[in-house]
Amino acid sequence: MASPILHIKDSFYFEVPRGLWKKSYETPEDFYAAYGPWVIRNDADYQQWEAEQLVGELKAVVAQPSQLDGLITQWQQWQHQKHSRHGRPLDQYLVDELKSLNSAAKKWAKAKAPESENVLHSFMQLPENANHSLAWLVEWTGNEKTAQTWSELSAKYQSGSMVDQYLKQTKVVWQPEKIEGYNKALSGKIFIPQPFATLRNPYEVQSGFGISRYVIVELMVAVLILLAFKWLGGKVASGAAPRGKLWNFLESTVEFVRNKVVVPAMGEHDADKYMPLLWTLFFFTLGCNLMGMIPWVGAPTSMFAVTGVLALVVFAVGLVQGVRAFGFLGYLKNLAPSLGLPLYLAVFILPLVYAIEGISLLIKHGVLAVRLLANMVAGHLVLLGFVGIGFGAHAVSMNSGMWSLAALISIVAATLLSFLELFVACLQAYIFTFLAALFIDSATHHH
C-alpha cells in the first residue's frame, strides 16, 4: 500500500514540491555520483546489458550452455508476473527462484519424504519438475565447487562493480527524453544519506541498515519529547509556580494521562510504578500521529512495523512483570480463571482453556497494534477520497462549472476532515495508552 501523497509506505527520502528541489542532471554518471549505483541498476537498458553479461559468464561455466538460451525471456516474464518483481535484475531472479524452490522442496519433503537426505535434489526428480527451466541452477549450486562460483558471481552482480564497468566500457549515452524523465522523477525527493546500507531502490535496502524517513521522524519525536520534559523537569525542580502556556500545557497533559487514563485502568496503588513507561508511550504515539498532519512528512504509526513494536513493548512489560510477581508457573496459572473442576474433567478441559487464553493474549496485543495502524491509515484514505473528488484523474473530463463545484466540495471536506484527523491523532494515543495500562494490569494481578 504505497501512496506518494499519504506516505503510507516508508521510503529513504523526504518529499517536497518539485520546484523547491529541482534536478537537472545531464548524464548517467551524474545520477550515479548523486545517488549511488541503485539508480543505474534499476534502468531497463542497464538491466538488459547486465543480464547478457551474466548469461555469458554462466554459459562459460555450466555443463550444458544451451540450457540458458531462454533465460533472459524467462526473467522478463517473471518480472511482469507480480508488481513487487518490477525492476528486479536477472541475478535477483535466480536468487529468489532458488529460494522458492528450496521452500517448496522442504514442504514437499515434510509431507512426502521426511527421510530424504538431499531434499532439493529429490524434489527436482519428481515428474512434474523434470523439465523445470532452472533445473540446471539447482544442479549447479548443489555441487560444492560450482556453488562457490555461483556465490562469487552473485556477489559480483549485486555490488556496484558491474555498474562501474557498464559506465566505463559501454560509454553510455541516455536520450534527452530519458534524462528528463529521471530528473522529473527525482525532483522533489530529498534522499537521506545511507552510511550503513546499500539501496536496491528508494524503498528497499539491498544490504546493511537503512535509515528511512520514518526512522528520522521517530528520532525527531523522541528528541522533542526528551527536550520538552528535560525543560519541564528543570522548571518543576526549581519550585517556581507554573508560568506560560507551554509549562501549563505539559503539566496538565501529564496529570491528565495519570489521573484520567492510567489510574482508572490500574488503580492508584500501581499507577506510579508504570507512569514513566506509559507517559513515554502516550507522548511518543501522539507525536508520531501528529507528524502525519505535517505535509510531506507522514505518520510512522501508519506502518505496522512501528505499531507492532509498540504493542510488543506492552506485551514484554506485562510478561516480565507478571513473572516477577507470580513466578513463571504462577504467571501461566494466572492466564486462566480457576474453574473448580474435578480432576477427571480438568485433565481434558484445562489444557484447552490455557491454549485459548494463550492465543487470546497474543491476539489482543496484535489487535492493539492493528487498531492504531488502521485508525491512522483509514483517516488518510478518507482524506485522499475527498481530495480525489476535485483533483482526481476524472476531473480532467469535467466542464468548468462542475469542476468548480467538485473542487469546492473537495477543499471544504478535506479541511473539515483534517480537523477531525487532529482529534483522532489525540484519541488514538489516549486509547493505546489506556489499553496498554489495562493489559499490564491484567498480567500483574490475579483474575
- Express each pLDDT in 284-295 by its tens digit: 999 999 998 888
Question: Does the structure show a pLDDT above 60 at 254?
Answer: yes
Q: What type of residue is 123?
A: F
pLDDT, residue 415, reads 83
**What φ, ψ does residue 296 adopt, rounded to 5°?**
65, 15
C-alpha cell at 144: 560444492
Question: Does the structure show a pLDDT above 60 at 5?
Answer: no
Question: Does the structure show a pLDDT above 60 at 301?
Answer: yes
- Express each pLDDT in 167-213 by its tens digit: 887 778 889 999 999 999 999 999 999 999 989 889 989 889 999 99
β-partners of residue 13 are 191
The pTM score is 0.83
Residue 394's pLDDT band (cuts 50, 70, 90): low
User: Where is pLDDT greater, at 381 or 233?
Assistant: 233
pLDDT, residue 227, reads 95
Distances (CA, A) of 56 to 50, 249, 255: 10, 68, 70
Q: Are 16 and 188 in contact (CB under 8 A)?
A: yes
Residue 396's pLDDT band (cuts 50, 70, 90): low
Question: Does the structure show a pLDDT above 50 at 348?
Answer: yes
